[in-house]
Each structure stands twice: as structure tokens, then as C-alpha cells.
Amino acid sequence: MNKKKMSGNERRKHILQILKNSSTPITGGELAERTRVSRQVIVGDISLLKAKNEPIMATSRGYLYTERKNPECEKIIACSHTPEQTEEELNLLVDYGVTVKDVTIEHPVYGDITASIMVSNRMEVKNFITQMKTTGSPLLSELTGGIHLHTISASSNRAIDQAVAAMEKAGFLIKQDH
């Protein structure tokens, strides 16, 4: 095994390959362990890769390379519900094969605030909800009385349409006045 230390460029290429080859997020700690550097060095490397327009997203579960080989269908939906209904809302969406990519709120001072969610199945929803509860972090939608946007994606428009119809039936979508 070659113990020679990688240069910064070599390390960033290696990190990019690790992320591209993974379908799940990889923590900064794991990347640090694999490249034999500190987590702080990884944070800097990720920032440099993002500055080169690499589509890397920082999620609550780690870093994810977001470029997909198959183009996905995407839609932004306007939602409103109580904090207690968040798990139900997310489960409803993922049950239709939809990935909930993010949540956006309109803050009176900061403007739009968007945070990554990246949940695609019930286990990921459960982990997200558990993490919110154990950290005591408020949901962004709590700052806006429940009003928020989600970017959702799926492999087909049909899956998105079915998920949106179910959200409407459940009363989670904000009705548009015509």
C-alpha cells in the first residue's frame, strides 16, 4: 500500500470519485478517514469542489453528489401543515416514489431560506424526524406558520402527479386562487 501523502488536487479528485460512486450520502468524517486528513480539510475540499461547479450537496446525513445519469422530473409544491404532520407529509410523498429534495421558506429578513432534506423512503424520513427531535431543532416551516415549499423529484411525471394529488387530498397543499 502506498503511504505517500496525496496532494490537495489528488485528494479532491479522490473525494469526487467516492461521492460519484455512492448512491447514499457520505459523512465528512468518513471522507476524512478514507483520505487520511481532518474533517476540517474535507470541509475546505468540498468548498473548493463546489466552487468548481461540482454538484455536491451537504445533507443532514453527509455529502451527496447530485448529478444523476437519468434525468429526473422535478416540481416545486407549496405546502402548509402543522409540525406534527411533517412525518405524515414526507411519508405520503416518498410512498409515491418521490424524493423530497429540500424545503424553502420566505423569511421576513433573510428572504428565501432553503435547506436540504433528501429523503426518498420511509427509513430516511424516520431518520430525519428523529434527528430533528433529538437535536431540538425547529422545522423551518415553524417560522412561517407552516407555510413552505418543497422541491420534489421522481423518475416520471406520473409519480409526481400522483404524489401531488395525494397531497391535495390530504389537505397539505396551499390552494391557488384563480
More confident residue, 22 or 92: 92
126-165 pLDDT, tens digit per residue, is 999 999 999 999 999 998 999 999 999 998 899 999 999 9
In the chain, alpha helices (H): 8-20, 28-35, 39-51, 86-94, 122-135, 157-170
Task: Report, as an integer, the average pLDDT of 8-22.
Answer: 93
Q: How far apart are CA 31 and CA 34, in angstroms?
A: 5
pLDDT at 95 over 60: yes
Q: Is residue 175 part of a domain?
A: no
Within-domain flag for 176: no
The pLDDT of residue 60 is: 74
Write out the three cell numbers for 44: 475546505
pLDDT higher than 60, residue 177: no
pLDDT for 62: 86
Shared-domain flag, residues 53 and 96: no
Q: Does residue 2 fall inside a structural domain?
A: no
Using alpha carbons, list the distances in angstroms from residue 52 to 46, 114, 137: 10, 21, 32
Report the predicted TM-score, pTM, of the whole model to 2 decimal places: 0.68
* Percent of the chain at pLDDT exceeding 90: 65
pLDDT of residue 69 exceeding 70, the answer is no
Q: Is the pLDDT of residue 178 over 50?
A: no
Number of other residues whose CB lies within 10 A of the CB of residue 148: 25
Q: Could you tell me the pLDDT band of residue 68, with boundaries at 50, 70 and 90?
A: low
CATH value at residue 20: 1.10.10.10
Residues 79 and 162 placed together within one structural domain of the fold = yes
* Number of compact structural domains in the chain: 2
And the C-alpha cell for 112? Answer: 428565501
Evaluate whether residue 50 is within a structural domain.
Answer: yes
Q: What is the mean pLDDT of the chain?
A: 89
Domain limits at 149? 73-170
Residue 124 lies in a domain: yes
